[in-house]
Amino acid sequence: MRKLLLIGLLVLLAGTASAESQAQTGLRRTEDVIYSRKFGTALTLDVFQPEKPNGFGILFMVSGGFFSSHDGINPGFYRALLDRGYTVFAVVHGSQPKFTIPEIEQDIHRAVRFVRHNAAKYGVNPGELGITGASAGGHLSLTMGTQGGPGETEAKDPVDRESSAVQAVACFFPPTDFLNWSKPNDNEVGIGPVAAFGHGGGPRGAGQRDFADQLRCV
């Protein structure tokens, strides 16, 4: 009986893998593209290019609890987008508690500028970039929607001269109002249910109510 179950499981897995392979025919993935460096550490993104690109690019924030890693990149999340011709850039950013949320936001500004500067290379229109993410990734997406803007015209690095503005934002369950978390005047910035993220707000973060000004909430 156990052998039959094992064989059935193997057949199921083989069928799933086959379907996955067929669905991804023509998909091109470029891993660990360096978009910036931070204190000697490379910040990377993975590029997913569909078989029939439509010219639109989407930056996907690989972020949960303002923590990000390459292991968190899941191509299955982007399937619906890729099937419709969108080119997806899965962005890995610096993580808290080492980096504060405002510092992480700068990583995303840089990622957008990098993609825009290299738009021709990846077959996307630099004026047609969107951004998306869930939870902390949604928060970062909203931040770019409200704070993205022109680059520095005199910057030494041409990437930094590009705009970080995006043309579309779509996000899922983003934290937005830390000062009215569950009810009016319920300040949960770095305390209460979100105490684990206290360091993300800055050096005065952990367990203190007076550092809300350090976290630019949408």
Question: 184: buried, middle or exposed (CB in 10 Å: 19+, 13-18, 0-12)?
Answer: exposed
* 3-state class (DSSP) for residue 34: strand
**Tens of pLDDT along the chain (218 residues)?**
443 333 343 333 334 443 444 445 689 999 999 999 999 899 999 999 999 999 999 999 999 989 999 999 999 999 999 999 999 999 999 998 889 888 999 999 999 999 999 999 999 999 999 999 999 999 999 999 999 999 999 999 999 999 999 999 999 988 887 777 777 877 666 565 556 555 545 444 443 444 444 444 44
Look at the domain 27-176 and name its fold: Rossmann fold (3.40.50)
Number of other residues whose CB lies within 10 A of the CB of residue 18: 10
* 3-state class (DSSP) for residue 132: strand
Distance CA 154, CA 39 (A): 22
Query: In the numeric block, which tokens belong to residue 92?
Result: 């890995």
Domain positions in the chain are 27-176, 177-218
The model's pTM is 0.77
DSSP letter, residue 45: E
How do beta strands 41-49 and 28-38 pair?
antiparallel
